[in-house]
Structure 1
Amino acid sequence: MKETITPFSYGNEDKIHEETNPRKFYQFYVGIDIGASFHVASCIKFDAFLDPKGTAWKRTKTLKFNSDSSGIGEFLAALKQIELQFELAQKDFLILLEPTGGHYSYLVQQVLLNEGYDLYQVENKAVGEFRKNNLGITEKTDSMDAKVMSYMGWHKQLHPHMQGVTLLRPQTVLQSLFRTVMRDRWYLNVQLTRRKNQVQQLLKVTHPDLGKAFKSLGSTSVMKLVLDYPTGLHMKESSEEELYKAISKSGAKKVAKQAAKTLAEIMPNTVAVPVEHLVGRQTWVIEEALRLEESIKLIDKEIHNLLWGVPEKGVLPHPYTEILLSLPFVSENIACTLIGVIGDIERFNTYKEFKKYLGASAENKQSGTSVSGTRQTYSGVRDARRVLYQIAFIVIASGKHNPTVFKAYYDRKVEEGMSKKKALGHLCGKLANLIYSLLKNNQKYDPVIHAAAIGVKLEDLNAKVNEEPLLLN
């Protein structure tokens, strides 16, 4: 096979791509639909899928069991009963479940792994798509989804190279914690942005002139200042010196002098309206925003400890931390998100499987049997797709002043006539390829090696900062 070197490759990916798991057939295929209070499991024998009419597997009964200790114990007892009846062992069962609902799947997942069963995760969206597109079943119930997962496990073993189904080893609880923490931070940040927008709306009534002294009315220092001076009328009688001390106390020391002077000049003529219920709501919203900011700071500290460890407590750094942070434009938050999504790179057999899981691969635009082109897949983990696009946007935005091979690749695609949106998707795909290669090889990103691998010198990129973008050959 002819060896090819593509951008974002160190040239030795062919051996990596050849690694695949040997195909293995099981006696029973188990699917578990995860819920908050209870789970639903199906256990279907291999022979049931060979029914010529294709209905035997649909008629199998399912087991509904609680998500507590007694319920999981009941499920394990049912599996043990089948083992005794058919003289089987744990290795004769293939179990599939969804990574649904935060921590809901952790307990049953860990118990099954401790018992020695072969267990894989399948994305929630993939189950629905397989049920409708491959099986033509519109029925959406917990019982049917459990059976469909059993079918997916059997079908994947029968057709190991099938593109529609990706089975992944489950993450450990620690690995999943990375994803949960970043999801929590994202939710808190959304709430904080909403609260800050509410503060700025309220200040248009209670403090209409505050914008002349501060660029951002949603900043922490401005919100703290407004707690001391709820309306412009409270600030009207204050001297410039009093305002200077209050602004400095709120944390805006750099602009305190100029802001105090500006406010002292304009506040005597303010037309702010002291509506009591608006002032009360404004105070509550500001206090909530400040609380959210403190919560985000605590989460950022936890993220740092997850990545770099806590030596005094014997907690070691994560092995992927230095590798991911060696990439340009990757922050601790982005690294934590990627680790949470990836878990262990050994869960993925090929870079194509990895790209699809991250939502950075291409798929055919198809209507019936007609294929009209390609598009970026709608599947994959949205957290990973979001951070890949975030990196790509930063690369493009900073390209003029901080040229990189990534920006050169994007420019090349645009020059070839590709739309900017599609070129952005290609860039995300190449970033995913690079991350896969680095983690598989346990190797930090080296821009010199990277540039040399595709025939580009870094000094040439830096020399053309103010010229036309350098295109890759």
Structure 2
Amino acid sequence: MRTVFGIDVSKASSEVAILVNGEKVHGYTMPNDCIGFSRLLSDLDSVYQPEVIFEATGVYSRRLQTFLENNDYTYTRLNPLEAKKQLDSLRVRKTDKIDAEKLALSQFSLNRKPSYVQKSVYQELRDLSRFYQNLTEDIVRTKNRLHKALQVTFPELETLLSAPTGKQYWSLVTAFPSKDFILDWSEADLTKVIRQSTAKRMSDKRVSYLVTKLLELAKQSYCAVKIASPMIEEVRYYAQELLRLTERRQVTLDNMIELAQPLPEYDILLSIPGIAETTATSIIGELGDVRRFQSANQINAFIGIDLRHYESGIYLAQEHITKRGNPYARKILFKTIHNITTAGHYHPCHIAEFYEKRKRQSQVISTKSATIAAMHRLIRTIHYLIVHNKLYDYDLAKSY
């Protein structure tokens, strides 16, 4: 006797359909909380080797997945696109109850294998990686807002340092949101503030140069608002927010590195020229346990760089990547290729050489196409090294 539980997960509740040998014997709606999971656990315990199948619905299915893992039940988690393609031919009407029943019914004919359960450290790294990416987006957004507000109060301040970014610059913006805060202070006070703006030891010559330049910028500036304007506080707020976000992002990165260091793939990724700690932890966080992929092509599909092929009669469409995978992983690996090519000038790497070769092959090949091709080469390398637990060896890689 074979029992399958089909579960259609929603935000607050889930539809459960229980089928035995292809026939529905029971179905109900359960809340996604302890009460609902207790009822589900009672039903699971009442049958022999139950099969559980559900669609991955982002954060909403996380609680169900954790509940099943905590109670040592295997499950099959379907990608929503995969589930849609498999069930479309069976659906006449679409409701949550019907979806749950069709999920269970399709399992009797498709016999899907249980999903690979990764160690909890990979899920924690994924959560931290997403948090790190969100913090980076917040920093970029706040930088743009600070730039816009500073154009009204003190745009010349952006030329004080080599680049209008970094902790020292934001500390100076907090202290001097407009020229009035400079002209009302003595050189001794300005010197003290500048020294406090950086944790590094600064020479007297450097401090004197910054004080002089700060006074020159203040004298040539024309502020569009008064000193009591709310724009002054807005500039200070964005500068302080950038300091806070940068510190929070560094703490997040430190936590990612601490979690990733014991994993064997961490040192493997660092052995590839151009991949440093931030990139290595982000790759592990987004790809998870690479050993669960049987081939590099599966990783291509997972991040959405597999090619879309369309052919009809004599018409052959130009191939493009599907972009149906993990966009965060795709973005990280895209940037990784450019880091590898930059490092390739000093540390030889077959991926950097392949990228340059693809760019030289034909003028038709764009930089983006060459990068996508190099990403596939990088994924093949990562998959081979991690599966065989080997560090990167340029001489060995070049021979293949």
TM-score by length of 1: 0.73
Check conservation: 1:41, 1:62, Cα contact below 8 A.
yes
Question: Does 2:240 align with 1:287?
Answer: yes
Structure 2 unaligned blocks of 5 or more: none
Question: Does 2:57 align with 1:100?
Answer: yes
- Please give the alpha-carbon distance, in whole angstroms, between the structure 2 residues aligned to 1:31 and 1:192: 42
- Please give the alpha-carbon distance, in whole angstroms, between the structure 2 residues aligned to 1:416 and 1:112: 52
- Please give the alpha-carbon distance, in whole angstroms, between the structure 2 residues aligned to 1:33 and 1:384: 27
Check conservation: 1:200, 1:218, Cα contact below 8 A.
no
Q: Counterpart in 2 of 1:126?
A: 82
| 1:139 Cα deviation after fit | 6.5
Structure 1 unaligned blocks of 5 or more: 1-25, 49-56, 84-88, 161-166, 309-316, 455-473
Alignment of 1:236-251 (within 5 A): 236-251=183-198
CA RMSD in angstroms comes to: 3.2
| 1:116 Cα deviation after fit | 4.5
Provide the secondary structure at the position in 1 that maps to 2:319.
strand
Q: Counterpart in 1 of 2:146?
A: 199
Aligned residue among 208, 219, 222 for 1:271: 222
Q: Counterpart in 2 of 1:298?
A: 251
Aligned residue among 67, 70, 83 for 2:32: 67
Question: Does 2:172 align with 1:172?
Answer: no
Aligned length: 392
Provide the secondary structure at the position in 2 that maps to 1:209.
helix
Alignment of 1:408-447 (within 5 A): 408-417=353-362, 419-420=365-366, 421-447=368-394
Check conservation: 2:6, 2:16, Cα contact below 8 A.
yes
Q: Counterpart in 1 of 2:211?
A: 260
Provide the secondary structure at the position in 2 that maps to 1:64.
strand
Aligned residue among 154, 168, 173 for 1:226: 173
Instruction: Check 1:44–1:199 CA distance in 2 against 1; reply closer, same or farther (3 A cut).
Output: same
- Please give the alpha-carbon distance, in whole angstroms, between the structure 1 residues aligned to 2:44 and 2:5: 10
- Please give the alpha-carbon distance, in whole angstroms, between the structure 2 residues aligned to 1:413 and 1:156: 41
Check conservation: 1:182, 1:333, Cα contact below 8 A.
no
The residue identity in structure 1 corresponding to 2:259 is L
Alignment of 1:145-160 (within 5 A): 145-147=99-101, 149-150=103-104, 153-154=107-108, 156-157=110-111
- The farther-off stretch of 195-204 and 220-229 is 220-229
| 1:291 Cα deviation after fit | 1.6
- Please give the alpha-carbon distance, in whole angstroms, between the structure 2 residues aligned to 1:336 and 1:149: 35
- Please give the alpha-carbon distance, in whole angstroms, between the structure 1 residues aligned to 2:54 and 2:327: 19
Check conservation: 2:273, 2:344, Cα contact below 8 A.
no
Aligned residue among 281, 285, 295 for 1:350: 295
Q: Counterpart in 1 of 2:280?
A: 335
| 1:303 Cα deviation after fit | 1.0
Instruction: Check 1:449–1:119 CA distance in 2 against 1; reply closer, same or farther (3 A cut).
Output: same
Instruction: Check 1:376–1:150 CA distance in 2 against 1; reply closer, same or farther (3 A cut).
Output: farther
Q: Counterpart in 1 of 2:397?
A: 450
- Residues 326-368 of structure 1: CA distance to partner in whole angstroms, max 9, x if unpaired? 1222222322233233433342233332332233333323679
Check conservation: 1:323, 1:442, Cα contact below 8 A.
yes
Provide the secondary structure at the position in 1 that maps to 2:392.
coil
Aligned residue among 3, 7, 13 for 1:38: 13
Q: Counterpart in 1 of 2:310?
A: 365
Instruction: Check 1:198–1:228 CA distance in 2 against 1; reply closer, same or farther (3 A cut).
Output: same
Q: Counterpart in 2 of 1:388?
A: 333
The residue identity in structure 1 corresponding to 2:39 is E
TM-score by length of 2: 0.85
The residue identity in structure 2 corresponding to 1:303 is M
- Please give the alpha-carbon distance, in whole angstroms, between the structure 2 residues aligned to 1:146 and 1:127: 11
